Each structure stands twice: as C-alpha cells, then as structure tokens.
Amino acid sequence: MSSTVITGIGELTTNDDALGTIADAAVVIDGDRVAWVGHAGSAPDADERVDVEGRAVLPGWVDSHTHLVFAGDRTAEFAARMSGQPYQAGGIAVTVNATRQAADAELADNLRRHVEEAAAQGTTCVETKTGYGLTVEDELRAAKIAASVADEVTFLGAHLVPPGTDAADYVDLVCGEMLDAVAEHVGWCDVFCEEGAFDADQSRRVLAAARRRGLGLRVHGNQLGPGPGVTLAVELGAASVDHCTHLEPSDVDALAASETVATLLPACDLSTRQPLPDARALLDAGATVALASNCNPGSSYTSSMAFCVTTAVLQMRMSVAEAVRAATWGGARALRRETGDGAVGVLRPGARADLQVLDAPSTTWLAYRPGVPLTRAVWREGDRVR
C-alpha cells in the first residue's frame, strides 16, 4: 500500500466541522483512506509527493441520485420539450422498452461509461437505481448490474406502472415477488410518488414492504407539482426525498424538522422546463440539502455535478459554500455515508480517499467561471483516476 502527500493546496474544503476550510494545506492518502489533513508546513512524509501549486482541493462529488442502468436515448422527446411539449412520467416507458431489449453486457458497459464520465469530472461516489426493467427478471438483472459498478444501489420497481398493466396488480408484484428477488442486491428502495406514477397509498405500501426487508427508503416527490411525496418521506423516515421542485411551506417545515435530506436536481428542472426548487427556503428553515445530477436519458442527461453546483449558485440563491457542501457532504448524508470509517463527502483521517483538485484557486471559480471544465485531478478510493 503506497502513500501520497498532496501539498501546495491553496484552499482545502474538508466539510469537517473541526477542520473547516484550510489555506496552504496538505492531505496525505494512505491506501484507500485519508491519513492526515492539515497545514502544509506540518505534513508528514509519504512515498509520493504531488504539488498542486496553489489550487483548490475538495472532496469528490457525491452523486446521490442517478438512473444509469438503461439503454437507448430520448433525444426526440427532449427536442419536443424544447419546442414546448410538457415532460410526462410516461416517457419512462420508452427507456423501459430499450432496456428490456438490451443484453446484460450492453447495460453494464453503458453504466460503466457513465460512471467513468462522471469520475473524470470529479464524481467519486455514485448512487444508481433500477427502474427501467419493471418485470421481476429485468429489475433483478438491473440490480445485479448496478451492484457490480455503483457505490449505492436503489430498487425503483415503482417507477411507472408498465403500460397495459393493472396498477393494483403491479403494486402487489413490486411489494412481493420483485422485492424478494432484488433485496439482497440493493441497499435502498425508492418510489416515484407523483401524478401519473404512484399515489400516496401505493407508495406507502411499497416503502413499508421494503422496510420490512431491511432496505433504506428514498422517495421521488414533488417533481411535477405539489403532492404527498415529502409528507410521506418524512412520515416514513426516508433518508431523502428527491426533486422537491414544488414545495408548500408545510413541506419545508416538515423537512426542516426531520432527518430527511431534500435532494435537489436542478439539471432535471432545467431539462424539463420546471421552475428551480426554492433552496433558500429549505436552507433558511434549517433543512439539509443535497444536490445531485439525476443523470438519466429522459429528464436530465448530464453527469456534471459542477453544472448543478453552478446552477445552484447562479440561479437558486445558494452560496458557493452551500452548493459545494450540498454536492459533497449533502449527497453523502442522503446516502447515510457521511460518518465513520470510509466516510465520503468529507476529508478527514479515516475518510475514503476521494478528492478532486480544481484548476482554480478556490471553489468560488465553479460559479465565477460557469461552464469551464475545472477538474484538474481526481483520486477515488486512493487511486488517481484523472
């Protein structure tokens, strides 16, 4: 196991309350863990030395919401949207058809390619979901493929009632045979609680069945309009409720009083021509906010967490520090991986050695130079991947 000291760090964002942000810093990586963090002058020696010459270093992005087990693309649907057509949950069925027809190797290659594309832009921890299979067999293979590549896997059999299927029968299938098949391959269960997908009662049944099997809970909620998603997520103690585009004041209060993370997906809102979520109201009320890409072929085909951070700062009234924290520590919190040995989204001794170097003196440049690729170097689990 070799060690590396990264020195000459102009600004080090640690997301650790005791360490804070450190100027003129160094980080030591030993194997796949962070071994030491502090002022460069007192850094211990290591096998290898990398001088980043005054650049900013921060934890790798933690992308806590993607849908990357898919085949096909939805360019035509996107183009139609840009000409004024609304986004509808039913578009998911197009990807379901393409995914069912694809071979396992094609799905795995596509997933790996997108995870590598994200890593080259600083993303070092990725959650991904099933949800484009919607049969027991297709959801199971999606879960297995996802588990072979992603850090965290979420079962989303309740993504859409397959066209031509009775909704009650499908919910029974998801709660029974489908969950039984996938449970050992996934850590989480999610449900698309939205008009055109699953209502509150159906969603509650799916989540309760998942909880009985020991899975953590997540909810897609309040994406296309106000609805019961946030209330349900808070009621059931879900780790996160994702989208939160259309919130009532009572939703904001409920989130602020809960442990449920509000995961905001601004690239999706832009790509579906929805308003951007009210991050300021959530933060000011005391809710925990995460930012994620929602990379998927239908509603948000980007793997760029930097784009999400930039949008959050320029359009959602988040400060740079808030947006960077939401895209690192916030994502880790949404996955319940921000503490303990091997924590992600933080740089402290014992954390997973996941970090990125910006070609910039500070994280402020993520918004100051919008759209400019600033990722200079990336370490994931101690390995330099860029």
Minimum CB distance to ligand NIG, residue 229 (Å):
10
Contacts of 353 (CB under 8 A, 6+ apart): 29, 30, 31, 32, 33, 34, 379, 380, 381, 382
Cα atoms found within 13 Å of the Cα of residue 325, Cβ hemisphere only: 15
Kindly tell me which of 26 and 224 has the beta carbon lying closer to ligand NIG: 224
Known binder of ligand: residue 185? no
Asked if residue 179 lies in contact with residue 189, where contact means CB atoms within 8 angstroms, the answer is: yes
- Residues 144 to 183 in contact with ligand NIG, rule: CB under 6 A: none
Known binder of ligand: residue 65? yes
Kindly tell me which of 59 and 216 has the beta carbon lying closer to ligand NIG: 216
Known binder of ligand: residue 298? yes
Minimum CB distance to ligand NIG, residue 190 (Å):
9
294 binds ligand NIG (CB under 6 A): yes
Asked if residue 268 lies in contact with residue 66, where contact means CB atoms within 8 angstroms, the answer is: no
223 binds ligand NIG (CB under 6 A): yes
Residue type, 350: G
When binding is defined by CB under 6 A, the residue of 258, 296, 303, 362 that contacts ligand NIG is 296
In degrees, rounded to 5, the angle at the alpha carbon of residue 163 between the alpha carbons of residues 168 and 190 is 60
When binding is defined by CB under 6 A, the residue of 81, 141, 205, 220 that contacts ligand NIG is 220
Minimum CB distance to ligand NIG, residue 67 (Å):
6
Minimum CB distance to ligand NIG, residue 307 (Å):
16
Known binder of ligand: residue 159? yes
Minimum CB distance to ligand NIG, residue 92 (Å):
4
When binding is defined by CB under 6 A, the residue of 10, 60, 266, 298 that contacts ligand NIG is 298
Known binder of ligand: residue 246? no
Q: Taking the mean position of all CA atoms in its chain, how far away is CA 179?
A: 22
Q: DSSP for 243-278?
A: E--S--HHHHHHHHTSS-EEEE-HHHHHHTTPPPP-
Residue type, 174: V
x/- site string to ligand NIG, residues 88 to 117, per CB under 6 A?
Answer: ---xx--x----------------------
Question: What is the rounded CA–CA span in Å between residue 212 and residue 217?
Answer: 11
Kindly tell me which of 302 and 363 has the beta carbon lying closer to ligand NIG: 302
Q: Which two tokens stand for residue 313?
A: 């700062």
Kindly tell me which of 145 and 264 has the beta carbon lying closer to ligand NIG: 264
Kindly tell me which of 231 and 300 has the beta carbon lying closer to ligand NIG: 300
Kindly tell me which of 12 and 92 has the beta carbon lying closer to ligand NIG: 92
Q: Which two tokens stand for residue 39?
A: 């002022």
Kindly tell me which of 114 and 220 has the beta carbon lying closer to ligand NIG: 220
Asked if residue 137 lies in contact with residue 96, where contact means CB atoms within 8 angstroms, the answer is: no
Dihedral over alpha carbons 188, 189, 193, 196 (to 10 degrees): 120
List, edge to edge, every strand of the sheet that includes 289-291.
Answer: 61-63, 123-129, 152-158, 188-193, 216-221, 240-243, 261-264, 289-291
x/- site string to ligand NIG, residues 332 to 351, per CB under 6 A?
Answer: --------------------
Size of the site for ligand NIG (CB under 6 A): 13
Known binder of ligand: residue 356? no
Minimum CB distance to ligand NIG, residue 192 (Å):
5
Residue type, 299: S
Annotated binding site for Fe(3+): 65, 67, 220, 294
Site of interaction with ligand NIG (CB under 6 A): 67, 91-92, 95, 192, 220, 223, 268, 294, 296, 298-300
